[in-house]
Amino acid sequence: MTIRAFFRAAKVESAQAPYDTIHLKVFYPAKMSGGDREQNMGIVAPDSKQAPFPVVIFFNGVNCHSEMYQWLAVKLAERGLVVVTFSWVSENIPGMISISPGVDLAMLSPDRYGTGPTASALPTLLAELENLQSQSILAGMLDLEKIILGGHSAGGRVAIESADPRFFPQVVAAFAYGGHTAAGTMMGYEPGTILPLPDSLPLLLIGGTCDGVIANSSDLYGLVWDTPTTPISRTFQAGIAGGRNDSYLLLIEGANHFSMADPFDPTTGRPFLDLPATQPPEQIRDLIAETVGLFIDTHVRQQPGVSPVLKIDPVNPLIAAFEQK
């Protein structure tokens, strides 16, 4: 299958210049035709037989450039999805300029949490999808009633926190790798507080047993985590009521915080906090991609012959734990 991508830029109305522009990369299943636009401009038409395409919006981790996640975008596009990654250089934290997933810190405060989305980039991204639906090579081919939010680290957190039909009725599911809802004591929360998720849509939480970034950031939450995956497990246990059998927790043996990233970039962010991965990185990424793809097939695309609940190989040695509620 041929996967192609194109770029867009969009303004964030709530942000101030020069930090008010998001750059998007849009991946899609394509079909080569040999036409003039292909030959002269590199514009390859989408494979219309697979349309309409559900859309995955992927939120990067802080100071993690979007190219780190291209491997996942390509694998999901190969399953017949359109995937949007983006780069936003902004000043989310005063005095700290970074590549940001877009975190609305005000919405994380104790008096406002749960009253609105924490993903400050999401309204702009959704508006740009509407533009693509009307004026782009994908015009008329997007299923904008089936939008999935996903992300890594802080990007994963805003994805699962913002997957709420009260605010975005077109969002139908969410997933996160290395993301959790532990509440920072600097925001005024008691140590060890786990904030609740909207819990109204299918959710998939994935973590690695060697996540050193989570393990070595526990002081932000006023305690020491028992294991590197404790806040992810606690988010699943305490942040989700469950009862619909569409929420899942997958812990991957030997994966670390940046097992999600390929190519890995050691020059920015906090990769020096991570622990070494103890399993082959390609196998870890294959498991992540397959699980996310099956999750979307199961709860969004509802393809014929697919089980109504997510099924994964129970004897896979990379699976440290798998839970459903």
CA pair distance 92, 79, nearest whole angstrom? 34
Walk me through the domains of the chain, giving residue ranges and CATH numbers: 2-324 (3.40.50.1820)
The reported pTM is 0.96
pLDDT tens sequence across 155-169: 999 999 999 999 999
The Cα 158–Cα 180 span in angstroms is: 9
pLDDT of residue 140: 97
pLDDT for the residue 170: 98
Q: Residue 4 pLDDT > 80, yes or no?
A: yes
- Residues 6+ positions from 131 with CB-CB distance below 8 Å: 8
Find, among 126, 239, 134, the residue nearest to 181 by Cα. Answer: 239
Q: How many CA atoms lie within 13 A of 203 on its CB side?
A: 34
Answer whether residue 304 shows pLDDT above 70. Answer: no
User: How does strand 53-59 pair with strand 82-87?
Assistant: parallel
**Non-local CB neighbours of 44 within 8 Å, separated by 6+ positions:** 2, 4, 30, 31, 32, 33, 38
Tell me the backbone φ, ψ of residue 37, rounded to 5 degrees. Answer: -65, -35
- pLDDT tens string 77-135: 999 999 999 999 998 777 889 999 999 999 999 999 999 999 999 999 999 999 999 99
pLDDT tens, residue by residue, 245-295 = 999 999 999 999 999 999 999 999 899 999 999 999 999 999 999 999 999
Task: Say whether pLDDT at 313 is over 90.
Answer: no
Q: DSSP string of 243-292?
A: -SS-EEEEEETT--GGGG-SS--TTSSSGGGPPPP-S-HHHHHHHHHHHH
Q: At a CB cut-off of 8 Å and minimum separation 6, what does 298 contact?
A: 202, 306, 307, 308, 309, 310
In the predicted model, is pLDDT for residue 228 greater than 90? Answer: yes
